[in-house]
A = this chain, B = another copy of it.
């Protein structure tokens, strides 16, 4: 299933230009030097988690598979590259026939990760793998940053549902991916219709202050909304005076009123007052939804308040202070020569400045303690120790160019909840700290 099958407004005919120019110039130089076909292994990993974070969340894998499948150089794209003289005719000819034919393994989407985790491994010729760097990183860096924030928020919210409503705070298509990543991280629904259309995520929405202001009286607005959407709707009660609005809301909708939304003020205080007022009015089943620059800390601080659901916007789509993960895509091994049977040689940048990488094609496992709780991320090259064979984290995603691991988003979401539950309890503390489990290296030689 390619994105093009879905007839959606986020279709792109090709993902081939979501690429830094240097991928193409490297390709050309390697083609001309005769090194382009050397078998190569690239890995996606991060050297560190965002400051203070205890774990990361892999998100975007499904979108990467779509992007790889749609990575083709059509006529329009080739004409652009020719006109700009970005590469020559020899390279353009090679690109015209491009189709990724290698293998991709990776952490399954929704899994947690740590510094050094080989989140994705791309294998094939240097030429076919190097081209995918930019788009793979764009997707994983963005989506994983959002999912990590979402996971902290859902953890802080406990059983209360979270609504993603940040579309207006980020690029209109990033918003669709953000709603998807939030769902992976445990959010219940989104305000973004495109995310509902594209990914089947439940969508919700009722009204804004503008709707109240459009009408001559707040009562007229509430009446119009209840007439249109029924008594189960959510009325926004903070346009003028909250207590007055709650009284009017229950008069108009009756005690069957579905919910009220509070979008400003001291939410803790206001929620308590509104709950008491609703109960006194007999609207004991009417829920309270709060929305107003919430983040995981604000959500946690409302744990004891009579709040039934949270709407989160800005802080979700901006990754709650960390809008991007710092994943990189590095060549870790390549064939010793152009001979297809040549052995792989581990390679790594050696220079100073904290950017040193560990070479070699890696496996990864999560070691558990006697109680079944994760105690270390073990990353290694060479043979897998027997006791870690059944704890391997990488799964096959693309085999010989064919996507082999599509899965429904609900399965991804459930995997994340399970993976998070398998971490030490301190993983979900909001206080700053190091990665909740260490990364150990089990390298050859």
Contact = CB atoms under 8 A, between A and B. Distances in A.
A80 B22 contact: no
Contact of A214 (B14, B76, B331): B331
Contacts of A76: 7-8
A11 B9 CA distance: 9
Nearest to A6: B76
Interface of A: 7-26, 28-30, 32-33, 35, 38, 40, 42, 67, 76-77, 80-81, 84, 86, 126, 130, 133-135, 137-139, 141-143, 165, 167-177, 191-194, 196-197, 203-211, 213-215, 220, 223-225, 227-229, 238-242, 263-266, 292, 314, 317-318, 323-324, 326, 329-331, 334, 347-355
A259 to B, nearest CB: 13
A214 B30 contact: yes
Which of A21, A193, A204, A331 is packed against the most chain B CB atoms within 10 Å? A193
A9 B317 CA distance: 24
A224 B193 contact: no
Which of A18, A67, A81, A134 is packed against the most chain B CB atoms within 10 Å? A18
A239 B32 CA distance: 22
A213 B35 contact: no
Given A13-B9, A134-B168, A168-B137, A22 B207 contact: yes
A265 B15 CA distance: 33
A346 B196 CA distance: 35
A322 B330 CA distance: 28
Contacts of A134: 167-168, 172, 192
B16 A9 contact: yes
Contacts of A215: 33, 35
Contacts of A15: 9, 172
Contact of A13 (B11, B32, B42, B193): B11
Copy number of this protein in the oligomer? Answer: 2
Which of A40, A77, A170, A228 is packed against the most chain B CB atoms within 10 Å? A228
A318 B324 contact: yes
A220 B35 CA distance: 10
A26 B208 contact: yes
14 contacts: A10-B12, A20-B165, A20-B193, A21-B196, A21-B203, A26-B207, A26-B210, A29-B207, A35-B224, A80-B196, A213-B331, A239-B350, A240-B349, A317-B324
Contacts of A18: 9, 167, 172-173, 175-176, 192-194
B30 A265 contact: no
Contacts of A355: 263-264
A21 B172 contact: no
Contacts of A206: 22, 25-26
Nearest to A191: B20
A149 to B, nearest CB: 12
A393 to B, nearest CB: 23
A200 to B, nearest CB: 10
A258 to B, nearest CB: 13
B22 A208 contact: yes
A135 B172 contact: yes
Contacts of A81: 193
Contacts of A191: 20-22
B9 A17 contact: yes
A264 B22 contact: no
A23 B130 CA distance: 43
Contacts of A314: 324, 326
Contact of A205 (B25, B67, B174, B211): B25
Contacts of A42: 210
